[in-house]
Each structure stands twice: as C-alpha cells, then as structure tokens.
C-alpha cells in the first residue's frame, strides 16, 4: 500500500517569522507575484522551483505542518547518498549504516526514542573517528540537524 502523500506548506509570514534570508525572501516574493498575501499557503515545491533546493530545505523549519517525519527521512536519504565514501574508507564499521536504518525506523514509528538515541551516538562516534573525511563530515551535519530535531 503506497504511503500517504504529504504536502508541506509555509507562508511569507512564517518565512519572515523564522528569519528567512532577506535577499532570498525578496526573490521568492517577486517570483510568487502580488497574488500571494502574507498568510497565503506556499507549497514547498514552489520554493524548490523558484529558489532551489537549499532554500526549500531551509523552509522545512517554517512549515505549517509537522514535517518531522519528512525531514528525518530526507536526512537519512542524504546521509545514505554519501555513505559509500565512508564505507570505502571504513568497510568494517557498520555504525553509520545502522544509524540511517534506525532513523528511518524512528521516522516511521517503528522504534523507540532510546534506540534512535543509541544509533545517533554510534553515528557521532563514527563521525569522530572519520574526522578527516569531508564526505562523512557533511553527513554528520545532516544527521545532527535533521535527525535530532
């Protein structure tokens, strides 16, 4: 059975309230046009289309809906996309992969906070042991920012 579609929205008001970058906010406002009032819903996909991925990801902090699950799953996907670099250098270290699996289970409500916390600690430990790896450092930032909300 397919998962329920999630539509995430924000508004100009919410973006300002969360201190959006002034120049990126102005650019988005211009692209949306005069029809968008202060509280008009803005689909995050519109932000993605007009402002790009970085602004769309940032806008997750200003959604009208609880986007915790989406943010956790995205973080897991991002971390997994660069996991190969870590595993090439540390083939016998399963901690990052296990943390990604645990993050997905937690996002889907299939594990406990304690298990998620243990996986997070393991991922942080792996990141410390791989400090010289720029790819893993980027993944650690993503994991810390989006998996520990």
- Report field, pTM of the whole predicted structure over 0.75: no
pLDDT tens digits for range 72-83: 888 888 889 889
High-pLDDT (> 70) share of the chain, %: 81
Distance CA 103, CA 38 (A): 35
Could you tell me the two tokens for 149?
């909300």
pLDDT tens digits for range 83-109: 998 899 889 988 889 888 988 998 898
Backbone angles phi, psi at 43, to 5 degrees: -70, 135
Quickly list DSSP for 17-48.
HTT--HHHHHHHHHHH-TT--TT--EEHHHHH
The closest of 24, 21, 18, 103 to 61, measured between CA atoms, is: 18
Low-confidence residues of the chain: pLDDT under 50: 131-132, 149
């Amino acid at each position: 059975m397919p998962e329920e579609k999630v539509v995430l929205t924000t508004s100009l008001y919410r973006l300002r309230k969360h201190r959006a970058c002034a120049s990126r906010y102005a650019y988005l406002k211009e692209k949306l046009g005069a029809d968008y009032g202060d509280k008009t819903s803005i689909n995050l996909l519109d932000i993605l289309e007009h402002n790009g991925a970085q602004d769309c990801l940032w806008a997750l902090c200003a959604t009208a809906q609880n986007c915790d699950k989406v943010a956790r799953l995205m973080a897991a996907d991002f971390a997994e996309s660069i996991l190969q670099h870590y595993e090439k250098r540390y083939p016998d270290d399963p901690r990052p992969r296990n943390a990604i699996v645990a993050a997905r289970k937690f996002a889907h409500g299939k594990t406990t906070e304690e298990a998620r916390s243990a996986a997070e600690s393991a991922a942080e430990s792996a990141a410390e042991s791989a400090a010289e790896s720029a790819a893993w450092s980027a993944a650690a930032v993503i994991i810390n920012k989006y998996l520990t909300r």
